[in-house]
Amino acid sequence: MQLKRHKHFRKDELKVKLTDEQYAKRIKHLSCILNNEPITRRSKRPQPNR
């Protein structure tokens, strides 16, 4: 799998200030995605109630 950063992502990434904890979670989640592992429940977006 090859990952590329879109130019809009690069701009947004410069604006956002992540804490060390947020950055560590981000890396962990990316690792899970790359290894086809499930992501923890807390990291998933909440589903809208229907």
Q: What is the pLDDT of residues 1-50, one digit of tens each?
A: 676 777 887 788 888 888 899 889 888 988 888 898 888 766 556 566 65
* Per-residue DSSP letter, 44: S
Rounded to whole angstroms, the Cα distance separating 11 from 39 reads 26
pLDDT on residue 46: 59
pTM: 0.54
- In 3D, which of 18, 20, 22 has the Cα closest to residue 43? 22
